[in-house]
Amino acid sequence: MRVTQGTFSFLPDFTDQQIHEQVQYCIDNGWAVSIEYTDDPHPRNTYWEMWGHPMFDNPDAAAVVYELNECRKVYGSYYIRIIAFDSSPGWESIRLSFIVNRPADEPGFKLSRTEVKGRNIQYSITPYSSDKPQGSRYK
């Protein structure tokens, strides 16, 4: 099951050239771009691991694509996303975020129903991949 989230979630995966152009748009708007990765695809997993610092003072997107490829060398089988942080007064939040790398095989989520009092049902989802401990998923 293809995990989607963020700004361009309905589009097919970007090529490096397309990533470059999107990142350049962010930089030209004065947003700080950073790279994050994770091996836990649960939608409530908001805070991913940071790959280096947010890049505040690189005028060209090539730097981000370069770092992305460095990150892919190490975590090529993980989810990697690019986020753009807008620090202008009054905003101070993420403006844009999109997935740029995903595992070759995404096993998807298990939906479990728990019957509770009064025949109510509680739903929860668990990624199949998180059965294994962190770091040994998606090998």
Partner 1 sequence: MENEGKEKEAKTVTEVNLKEDFQASGVADILAELDKSLIGLKPVKTRIKETASLLLVDKAREKLGLVNESPTLHMSFSGNPGTGKTTVALKMANLLFRLGYVRKGHLVTVTRDDLVGQYIGHTAPKTKEVLKKAMGGVLFIDEAYYLYRPENERDYGQEAIEILLQVMENNRDDLVVILAGYKDKMDKFFESNPGFRSRIAHHIEFPDYSHNELLEIAEVMVASMNYEFNEESKKAMAEYIKIRKKQPHFANARSIRNAIDRARLRQANRVFNNSEGPVGASFLSQIEDVDIRQSRVFSGGIDK
**Should residue 39 be labelled a site residue for partner 1 when binding is judged by CB under 8 A?**
no
Contacts for 8 with CB less than 8 Å, ≥ 6 apart = 14, 22, 98
AA letter at 81: R
Of 39 and 67, CB closest to partner 1: 67
Of 61 and 137, CB closest to partner 1: 61
Contact 64, 100 (CB under 8 A): no
Contact 34, 53 (CB under 8 A): yes
Structure tokens at 44: 């409530």
Structure tokens at 48: 């991913």
Shortest distance in whole angstroms from residue 108 CB to partner 1: 35
Shortest distance in whole angstroms from residue 134 CB to partner 1: 25
Of 64 and 99, CB closest to partner 1: 64
- Taking CB under 8 A as the rule, which mask of x and - marks residues 47-76 in contact with partner 1? --------x-xxxxxxx--xx---------
Of 49 and 70, CB closest to partner 1: 70
SS (H, E, C) 8-22: CCCCCCCCHHHHHHH
- The three-point CA angle 34-10-90 to 5° equals 45
Residues that bind partner 1 (CB under 8 A): 55, 57-63, 66-67
